[in-house]
Amino acid sequence: MSQSFQVDLRGIVDLLSHHLYSSPRVYVRELMQNAVDAITARRADVPTAPASVWLETPATTGDGTLRVHDTGLGLTEQQVHELLATIGRSGKRDELGFSRHEFLGQFGIGLLSCFLVADEIRVQTRHEGHPTVYWTGYSDGRYQVATGPDRQETGTTVTLLPRRDAVAWLEAERVRDLARLYGEMLPYPVRVDSELVTAETLPWQAGSRAAVTALAEQTFGFTPFDVIELNVPEAGLTGVALVLPTAVNPAAKSGHRVYLKRMLLAEGAEDVLPPWAFFARCVVDASELRPTASREALYEDSLLESVREQLGDQLRGWLVNLARQDPDRMHRFLAVHHLGVKALAMHDEEMLRLVDQWWPMETNLGRMTLSEVRRRHDVVRYSANIDEFRQLAAVAAAQGLLVVNAGYTYDAELIERLPLLDPSILVDRLDPSDLSTRFDTLDPGTELDLRPFLATAQRTLDPLGCEVVLRSFDPPSMPALYLTDRDATFQRRLRETAQSADELWAGVLSAFEKAEAQVRPQLVLNHRNPLVRRVIGLPTPELVGLTVQSLYGQALLFGHHPLRPADTALLNRSFLDLIDLAVPHIPREDS
């Protein structure tokens, strides 16, 4: 024997208020939505039928109730029983049960949202050619249908009797603000008491830049750098993307304003634009996108994904046209939003070409675009670490090498992608150890004379695993340079970690160690530097060792290299020893 489910309406209302709708304020939207859909249905049969929605607040009714009047299609008594008294039943579907796209609501639960603020809902409705029907619903699940005097005009009036704890939600000012928030874009006039809260046209369809600017200032609180028109016909979507005038955090979620058939769906919808387009906020109206059941977000489906891709293409087209038509404005845009463009260039060759031609990167010879770098040099050399770049910039320039500082977000990856634009482009990541091959070696006679000095210096730094090399290089003002191969650095840190780890992890890390001979970092002393020449002439091995330790510490600090405990101890000891040598010892007088 089949049975019917029993529904606890109070439980349903609690479910709506705590889990479906984010706030009781949605009841105003649902009431306007039903009114607009009723007018749309009536005008489908009678295009000249009157179209208006009027919300009477307690300030006008005088009895504490809120009344919503519309000139829509109205309901017959049979429809009242079918639609108002059955949860989930909606008259906005066709005979097969599919949603009819011309209507705002689809889920058949909109009227229930009124129970978030009211204990009793009264509906007075008249369908053309049928008597007026009076329906009253109660929050405990009861309802009754009665007859009464016929109303003169076709349409519906909904009356809410507020709960004691929800009276504030029906106040005139709050209702007016909510009606304007949700319904200011609606195609039919909506009045709250005597005030009109709707506009005649969408701001971006008014043909006025001032109207769109005012929309941006009112909605997001900024004057846009530029306005990009958006249009996706398959989703019935129109709108504008508003380019932010200031930089924003790329990791922060972007909130966009989305209207569905000109009714506000979400004030802070996410994932409308691609993630890389964090430099823009959009205001759009769509007719074919699907809302979630709460009508406060968009349903993620293939159509929304397609819309997101097409909106991304339109923003990309704006960037390309801006670069072609207004270079100065493009420079100003990139100065603020280069991260967004570079993020797009990570997977888009057209944007990569734009970055190559327009974004000036830091080099050791001044700021220049990657295309300018290629015009000056055959190879695009870069350093992927800012500290490494700062250490090598002056030395590389003195050797005639142009090096790009690619230590900023996306820069190294974008430089590596340049061959996609032209296979003939050569890209090389500069290894610090590569510089030593460009330094001048000393003549054999000088090197032979300096062998005792090098032997003393090497004995000093052997405990630190560093090789001492004497070369001549520019600039002469730099006394020493600490150079290390990246692979050697990795192997050294791997061994240090394994020594401090437990037996299990030490065994795991040892699997990554290479068996070949270790390449030690180098302290390259500059024979052209006057200070180094004076150090070479020091009379005792003790003084030579102390100054070499100081030069080693200075080179580590200059290159922003990580300091091991042994390095820190050496720095402290050599510093104190130098002070001790510099300060004369004054004998103490016996008292």
Which range (43-52, 84-93, 530-539) has the least confidence? 84-93
pLDDT at residue 260 is higher than 70: yes
- Residue range 114-137, pLDDT digits in tens: 888 998 999 999 999 899 999 998
pLDDT at residue 501 is higher than 60: yes
Using CA atoms in the order 553, 559, 562, 568, what is the torsion angle rounded to 10 degrees?
A: 10
* pLDDT (0 to 100) of residue 192: 97
* pLDDT (0 to 100) of residue 100: 41
pLDDT at residue 446 is higher than 80: yes
pLDDT at residue 83 is higher than 80: no
Determine contact, residues 297/262, Cβ cutoff 8 Å.
no
The whole-angstrom separation of Cα 508 and Cα 62 is 80
Higher-confidence position of 80 and 368 = 368
Helix crossing, 302-325 with 349-358: angle to 10°? Answer: 30
The whole-angstrom separation of Cα 224 and Cα 244 is 5
Q: Residue type at 486?
A: R
Determine contact, residues 355/341, Cβ cutoff 8 Å.
yes
The stretch 354-379 carries a mean pLDDT of 92
- Residue range 135-148, pLDDT digits in tens: 998 887 788 998 78
Name 475's Cβ contacts closer than 8 Å, sequence gap at least 6. 394, 395, 398
Determine contact, residues 364/393, Cβ cutoff 8 Å.
yes
Phi, psi values for residue 558, rounded to 5°: -65, -35
In 147-250, the DSSP E strands lie at 155-162, 190-192, 195-196, 226-232, 237-243
Q: Which CATH architecture has domain 9-196?
A: 2-Layer Sandwich (3.30)
Higher-confidence position of 31 and 516 = 31
Which range (90-94, 297-301, 395-399) has the least confidence? 90-94
* pLDDT (0 to 100) of residue 573: 87
Residue 364's pLDDT band, with cuts at 50, 70 and 90, is very high
* pLDDT (0 to 100) of residue 580: 82
Every domain of the chain and the residues it spans: 9-196, 203-325, 360-430, 438-484+521-582
pLDDT at residue 570 is higher than 90: no
Q: What percent of the chain has pLDDT over 90?
A: 49
* pLDDT (0 to 100) of residue 62: 94
* pLDDT (0 to 100) of residue 91: 44
3-state DSSP assignment of residue 39: helix
Please tell me the CATH code under which domain 360-430 is placed: 3.40.50
The stretch 551-562 carries a mean pLDDT of 86
* pLDDT (0 to 100) of residue 502: 65
| DSSP one-letter string for 404-427 | EE--STTHHHHHHHGGGT-TT-EE
Residue 397's pLDDT band, with cuts at 50, 70 and 90, is confident
Tokens of 13: 């209302």
* pLDDT (0 to 100) of residue 99: 41
* pLDDT (0 to 100) of residue 15: 67
Residue 484's pLDDT band, with cuts at 50, 70 and 90, is confident
- Residue range 287-302, pLDDT digits in tens: 999 888 777 788 899 9
Mean pLDDT across the chain: 85
Residue 12's pLDDT band, with cuts at 50, 70 and 90, is low
The whole-angstrom separation of Cα 24 and Cα 16 is 9
In 5-152, the DSSP E strands lie at 53-56, 66-70, 118-126, 133-138, 143-146
Which range (95-99, 342-346, 417-421) has the least confidence? 95-99
The stretch 213-229 carries a mean pLDDT of 93
Residue 571's pLDDT band, with cuts at 50, 70 and 90, is confident
The whole-angstrom separation of Cα 535 and Cα 554 is 15
3-state DSSP assignment of residue 584: coil
Residue 584's pLDDT band, with cuts at 50, 70 and 90, is confident
- Residue range 29-54, pLDDT digits in tens: 989 988 998 999 999 889 999 999 99
The whole-angstrom separation of Cα 28 and Cα 16 is 15
* pLDDT (0 to 100) of residue 90: 45
pLDDT at residue 340 is higher than 60: yes
Place of tokens 């200031």: 246
Q: What percent of the chain has pLDDT over 70?
A: 85
Choose the CATH number for 203-325 among 3.20.20.70, 3.60.40.10, 3.10.20.70, 3.30.230.80. 3.30.230.80
Q: Which helix (H) or strand (E) holds 267?
A: strand 263-269
pLDDT at residue 457 is higher than 60: yes
- Residue range 177-188, pLDDT digits in tens: 999 999 999 999
The stretch 508-520 carries a mean pLDDT of 58
pLDDT at residue 103 is higher than 80: no
* pLDDT (0 to 100) of residue 517: 43
Higher-confidence position of 216 and 434 = 216
* pLDDT (0 to 100) of residue 479: 93
* pLDDT (0 to 100) of residue 67: 97
DSSP code, position 472:
B
CA 142 to the chain's CA centroid: 49
Prediction pTM value: 0.72
The whole-angstrom separation of Cα 119 and Cα 69 is 20
Higher-confidence position of 239 and 207 = 239
Choose the CATH number for 438-484+521-582 among 3.30.499.10, 1.10.357.140, 1.20.120.790, 3.40.50.20. 1.20.120.790
* pLDDT (0 to 100) of residue 297: 82
Tokens of 91: 């008259």
Determine contact, residues 364/389, Cβ cutoff 8 Å.
yes
